[in-house]
Amino acid sequence: MKKKIRTIFYWLSYGFRNSKRFFFFSVLGLLIQVCFNFFDILLLKLVLDNLLQGKFGKILFFVGIFMIITLTLQFLLNQIINKIIPIEKIKLQKGLLMCIYEKSLTRSLKSLDDMREYSDFYFVLNQSVTNVLNLYDNVILILQQLLTMISLIGLVIVYDLYILIIAVICVCILSYLNYCLSKEYYNANVKMAEVERDLDYIHRVMYLKEYAKELRIYNLFLKLKKRFNYQYQEKVKVQEDTGKKQTRLKTMQHFVQISFQGIVILLLSFKTISKKIAISDFVVLFNSILEIENQLDAMIQLIPRIFENELYLEKIDEFLYEKEAMIYGKGKADIDKIVLKDVCFKYTTAHLEILHDINMKVERGKKIAIIGKNGAGKSTLAKILCGLYTPDSGEISESQSSLLANSSVVFQDFCIYSMSIFDNICIEESGKRSSDEIKVWEALEMVGLADKIRQMPKKLETIIDSEYDEAGVLLSGGELQKIAIARALLKKASILVLDEPSGAFDVFSQNEFYHIFDEISKDKIVIFITHKLSYLKCMDNIYVIDDGCIVEEGTHDELLRSQGLYKKMYLAEGEHK
Alpha carbon distance 259, 272 (integer Å): 20
User: What letter represents residue 161's amino acid?
Assistant: L
Alpha carbon distance 356, 339 (integer Å): 15
pLDDT band, very low/low/confident/very high, at 17 (cuts 50, 70, 90):
confident
With 80 as the cut, is the pLDDT of residue 88 above it? Answer: yes
Of 113, 71, 85, the closest CA to residue 28 belongs to 85
> Could you tell me how far CA 3 lies from the centroid of its own chain?
24
For the residues 532-547, what does the mean pLDDT come to?
Answer: 84
pLDDT band, very low/low/confident/very high, at 341 (cuts 50, 70, 90):
very high
Computed over every residue of the chain, the mean pLDDT equals 81
Q: Is 47 left (phi over 0), alpha (psi -120 to 50) or beta?
A: alpha
Alpha carbon distance 84, 22 (integer Å): 8
Alpha carbon distance 291, 149 (integer Å): 8
- Of 173-187, 428-442, 507-521, the one with minimum mean pLDDT is 507-521
With 90 as the cut, is the pLDDT of residue 79 above it? Answer: yes
- Give kind and range of the element (H or E) at residue 454: helix 450-454
Segment 127-137, tens digit of pLDDT: 778 888 888 88
Q: What is the three-class DSSP state of 524?
A: coil
pLDDT at 169: 81
Alpha carbon distance 236, 425 (integer Å): 47
Of 338, 343, 340, the closest CA to residue 354 belongs to 343
Alpha carbon distance 82, 147 (integer Å): 23
Alpha carbon distance 14, 9 (integer Å): 8
pLDDT at 225: 83
pLDDT at 68: 92
Of 381, 358, 397, the closest CA to residue 529 belongs to 381
pLDDT above 70: percentage of residues in the chain: 90
For the residues 356-369, what does the mean pLDDT come to?
Answer: 88
Q: Is 419 left (phi over 0), alpha (psi -120 to 50) or beta?
A: beta
pLDDT at 489: 85
pLDDT at 84: 92
More confident site: 525 or 261: 525
For the residues 538-561, what does the mean pLDDT come to?
Answer: 88
With 90 as the cut, is the pLDDT of residue 190 above it? Answer: no
For the residues 76-86, what does the mean pLDDT come to?
Answer: 92
With 60 as the cut, is the pLDDT of residue 302 above it? Answer: yes
pLDDT at 254: 83
Would you report the helix, strand and coil content of the chain in percent, each value rounded to 5?
Answer: 70, 10, 20
pLDDT band, very low/low/confident/very high, at 216 (cuts 50, 70, 90):
low
Q: What is the number of other CB atoms lying within 10 angstroms of the CB of residue 348?
A: 12
| Alpha-carbon distance values, 225 to 208, 219, 427 (Å) | 17, 11, 40
pLDDT band, very low/low/confident/very high, at 218 (cuts 50, 70, 90):
low
Listing DSSP states for 347-411 in one string gives SSTTSPPSEEEEEEEEETT-EEEEEESTTSSHHHHHHHHTTSS--SEEEESS-HHHHHHTEEEE-
pLDDT band, very low/low/confident/very high, at 441 (cuts 50, 70, 90):
very high
Close Cβ partners of 179 (under 8 Å, ≥ 6 residues apart): 303, 304, 307
For the residues 64-78, what does the mean pLDDT come to?
Answer: 91
Q: What is the three-class DSSP state of 344?
A: strand
Q: What is the DSSP letter of 412?
A: T
The C-alpha angle 46, 47, 49, rounded to 5 degrees, equals 65
Of 333, 335, 360, 355, the closest CA to residue 344 belongs to 355
pLDDT at 76: 93
Buried/exposed code over 81-101 (b: 16+ C-beta within 10 A; e: otherwise): eeebbeebbeebeebbeeebe
pLDDT band, very low/low/confident/very high, at 94 (cuts 50, 70, 90):
confident
With 80 as the cut, is the pLDDT of residue 515 above it? Answer: no
pLDDT band, very low/low/confident/very high, at 478 (cuts 50, 70, 90):
confident
User: What letter represents residue 353's amino acid?
Assistant: E
pLDDT at 72: 92
Segment 392-432, tens digit of pLDDT: 889 898 888 888 888 888 888 888 888 888 988 887 766 78
For the residues 153-166, what does the mean pLDDT come to?
Answer: 73
For the residues 446-455, what does the mean pLDDT come to?
Answer: 88
pLDDT at 331: 57
Buried/exposed code over 513-523 (b: 16+ C-beta within 10 A; e: otherwise): bbeebeebbee
Go through the domains of the chain in sequence order and give each one's CATH number: 2-320 (1.20.1560.10), 330-406+494-577 (3.40.50.300), 416-492 (3.40.50.300)
Helix ranges, 54-84 (H): 56-79
> pTM for the complete prediction?
0.67
With 80 as the cut, is the pLDDT of residue 496 above it? Answer: yes
